[in-house]
Structure 1
Amino acid sequence: MKKRTIDDLNDQFAVYLEINRGYSKGTVENYHRSVFRLSTWLEARRNVLYIDEITSADLELFLGTLKNPDGTVFEPTTRHTIISGIRQFFRWAVKYKYLAYDISQNIENPKLKEQLPKSLSVEEALKMMNSAQKRKMHERDYLMTSIFLILGVRVSELVGMNLNDIHESKGIIRIRGKGSKERELTFTPKLIQAIDRYKPIRKRILEERNNKDEVALFVNEKHGKRLTRRGVEHIIEQIAQAAGVECNFNVSPHKLRHTCATILYNEGTADLLAISELLGHKDPSTSKIYTKIKQEKMRSVIESNPLNY
C-alpha cells in the first residue's frame, strides 16, 4: 500500500466528518486543526511525515506540548477538543485501513468541570432588545437580537438563514442546524412584525449595492452581502455595551441562546425536553424514549417566552 502522509489523510478525514458524519463546520475545522497541529509538530520535532511511522510515544510527547506561551497548560476544554480530534482521526484511519491498530486508544481526555451556562436576566435581555432599536440599522439588529432571545438559535444558524426560510402565512421559520439537520420553529407575531419592518431596509440595501440576487436574510450595509459570524458577534457586543449590560462574562450570541433557554425554563412553561427540541439538541440516549414534540406544543413553548410581550 502507498505510504500516506498525515496531511493528505487529514483532508480526507475532514471530508468524512462533514459528509459521512454530518459534523458541524466548526467541529470539522477544530478537528482538522488539531490533526494539523500534531502533523506540524511531528515533522519538525520527530521527522515523521507518514501515518504509519507514528508511535504512541510520539503522541504522549506531543500532548506534553499543549501549553500556552507562558508555559501554563492549556485549559481542559482546549485540551479536550485537541485530543478528541486526534482520537477521531486515528479511529478513522484504522477503519479505512490506513493503520493496523489505533495508537491513540490509551490517550485519556481531561475531565471537564460541569459549568452552568451563563445568561442574562429578563431585565437585561429587555435592555438588549431596547438597545438594538436605537442603532442605525435598528430594523435588522432588533430582529437579530430578538431571534437569538426568543428562538435560541445558534449564531451559525442565524447567519445561514435565507429570506425564503420564513413562511409568514404558516408562522414558521426553517432552521438548518448542526449536521444539516432542519427544524421548524414558530415565528411569533412579534417576530413577524420585526421581519416586516426589516424587509424594505434589506431590499433597499441590495438595490443600492447592485446585489438583488442575495438570498441571505441578514446582510451587511456596506456590501449587501450575507453577514458573517464575526460580524454578528461584533454587533451583539456593541448592543450589549450600549445597553449598559454589565456581566462577569462577554455578551455573545451564544450567551443570548443560553438566556433564551434559561428564561423559558425559569419564567415560561417549557420543560427540559421542549427546550432541547427548541435549541436543536439531539441526545441519542433519549431520542428513542421520547416522541417528537408536536408543532402545537412547540408553538406554546415559544409563545410562553416573556420577551414576546
Structure 2
Amino acid sequence: MSEIPTILDDYLNYMEFIKGISSNTTKEYFLDLRTFFKFLKIRYGLIDRKTEFRDIDIEDVDIELIKKVTIQDLHSYISYVDRKRNNKNLTKSRKVASLRSFFDYLYSKLKLIDENPALQLESPKSNSRLPVYLTLEQSNELLNAALANKNEEYSKRDYAIIMIFLNCGLRLSELSSIDINKIKDDDTLTVIGKGNKERTIFLNNACSEAIDDYLIVRPKKTKDNKALFISKQKNRLSNRAIQHMIDKYLKEIGLDTSIYSTHKLRHTAATLMYKYGNVDIRALQEILGHESVATTQIYTHIDNDRLRDAVKSNPLSNRKK
C-alpha cells in the first residue's frame, strides 16, 4: 500500500496478522481510513484548497493530529461522504465500523489517546432491503446458458462454477480459491471464509457431478496444479474473470448486470434453500458462514406464502370456541 502513515500501517498489520481479519476486509479499512485522513487535512486547513482529493498526501498524518479528532469531526466526515461522495447507508455504516475499530485500537490497545471519540458514533439507519436473487426458472436458464457454450472445457467449467454458486452460496473469493485437494469423498468441500475461518460445505449430487465432469476436461498441465478452476492462460481463475464470465451469461438470459452479480447468486442459493429446502435459519447461517444470525435473517422475510402456511400448520389453527 502506498502513501500510508506509520500509525495506519501498524493498525492494518494488527488487524490482519494478530486479529486474523481477511486481507479483503483489511483493504476496506485502509481505503475508508485513507479517505478519513484526507478529509481531516481538508477540515483542519492543512492543504491548499485547490488540491484534488485524490492528490492529498496522508503520509504525514501522525498521532498528534489524530489526538485532535472529536465526535464532531467524525459526524462531519460521515456527512461529507454522504454529500460529496454519494455514499449510501451501507457504505457509510462500513466507514463508521472502520472508524470505531481504528479508534478502539488506539484507545484500548495502545493507550495513545485519552478519549475515544468514536465511542458514541452511531451507524446510519440501514435501509431494510430484501436480497435480490434469481428465481428458480432464471437459475435453470443461467445453467443452460453455460451448457450451450460450444467450447466443452469452458462449458463444463462454467457450468460447475454456476452450479456451486447456486447450490452452496459461496462468496466469490471462496469459490475462486477452491483447491482440488479440498474436495473430500466427492461430497464435502473445505473453504476459507471471512476472517480466515474454515468451514465445511456439503456438495449435493448435482454439484459433485458437475465437478467430476469438469475434471475430465480440466487442463492437465497448469501453472497452478492445486486450483480447481483454470483460466485460458492455465492459471487459477481470478475473481475478476469469474465475474466477467457470470456477467456474460446473465446478459445472455436477459438480466441486468447492474442489478445481478456473483453475490446475487449467493443470495439465490440462500433463498432457494430457505424457500424450498425447509432449512432452519441456524443451519443456513452455518452454510453461508455468517458471523451473526442477524445477517441471515434477511432470508426469512422473502416468502410470505411459507410464513402464512407455517401459521396455518399450528395444531391450534382450527380450534373452535
**Which TM-score tier does this pair reach, normalised by the shorter chain?**
0.7 to 0.9
- Aligned counterpart for 1:123 among listed residues 137, 146, 151: 137
Name 1:75's counterpart in structure 2: 88
Unmatched runs of 5 consecutive residues or more in structure 1 = 287-309
Partner residue of 1:280?
Answer: 289
Q: Per-residue deviation at 1:285?
A: 8.8
> Are 2:281 and 2:293, in contact at CA under 8 Å, matched by a contact in 1?
no
Matched-pair contact (CA < 8 Å) for 1:52–1:99: no
Distance 2:15 2:252 in 1: 40
Partner of 2:250: 240
Distance 2:14 2:35 in 1: 19
* Corresponding position of 1:150: 167
CA distance in 1, matches of 2:194, 2:69: 34
3-state SS of paired residue (2:124): coil
For residues 170 and 28 of structure 1, what CA distance do their matches in structure 2 show?
34
Query: What is the CA-CA distance between 1:94 and the residue it aligns to?
Result: 0.8
Contact 1:151 1:278 in 2 (8 A): yes
Contact persistence 1:233–1:253 (CA under 8 A): yes
2:229 aligns with 218
Tell me the distance in 2 between the aligned counterparts of 1:111 and 1:11.
Answer: 31
Q: Which amino acid aligns with 1:147?
A: I
Cα displacement string for residues 73-118 of structure 1 (whole angstroms, at most 9, x for unaligned residues)? 4211121111211121011111212222212223222110111111
Once residues 123 and 138 of structure 2 are traced to their aligned partners in structure 1, the CA distance between those partners, rounded to angstroms, is 37
Shift of 1:247: 5.8
How far 1:20 sits from its partner (Å)?
A: 2.9
Q: Distance in 2 between matches of 1:220 and 1:76?
A: 36
Q: Structure 1 residues 143 and 170, CA, compared in 2 at 3 Å: closer, same or farther?
A: closer
Counting only pairs closer than 5 Å after superposition, residues 4-19 of structure 1 correspond to structure 2 as 7-19=5-17
Q: Is the 8 A contact 1:127 1:243 kept in 2?
A: yes
Structure 2 contact 192–199 (Cα < 8 Å) conserved: yes
In structure 2, relative to structure 1, the CA distance for the partners of 1:82 and 1:157 (3 Å cut) is same
Identity of aligned residues (%): 29
TM-score normalised over the length of structure 2: 0.77
Out of 260, 263, 268, which is 2:269 matched to?
260
Contact 1:6/1:50 (<8 A) preserved:
no
Of 160, 174, 181, 2:197 maps to: 181
Q: Deviation string for 1:224-266 (max 9, x for gaps)?
A: 112221211111111111123x369622111111111111111
Checking the alignment, whether the CA contact within 8 Å between 1:6 and 1:51 is kept in structure 2 is: no
Distance 1:131 1:203, change over 3 A: same
**CA 1:267–1:74 in 2, change beyond 3 Å: closer, same or farther?**
same
Deviation at 1:6, TM superposition (A): 7.9
Q: What is the CA–CA distance in structure 1 between the aligned matches of 2:241 and 2:234, rounded to whole Å?
A: 13
Distance in 2 between the 1:124 and 1:229 partners? 23
Which residue type is aligned with residue 245 of structure 2?
A: I
Write the deviation string for residues 210-237 of structure 1: whole angstroms up to 9, x where unpaired. 62x432111211x211222121111111
1:11-43, Cα deviation, whole Å (9 max, x unpaired): 221222223333233322111111111122333
How large is the Cα RMSD of the aligned pairs? 2.5
Q: Under a length normalisation based on structure 1, what TM-score does the superposition of the two structures give? A: 0.80
Structure 2 counterpart of 1:18, one-letter code: E
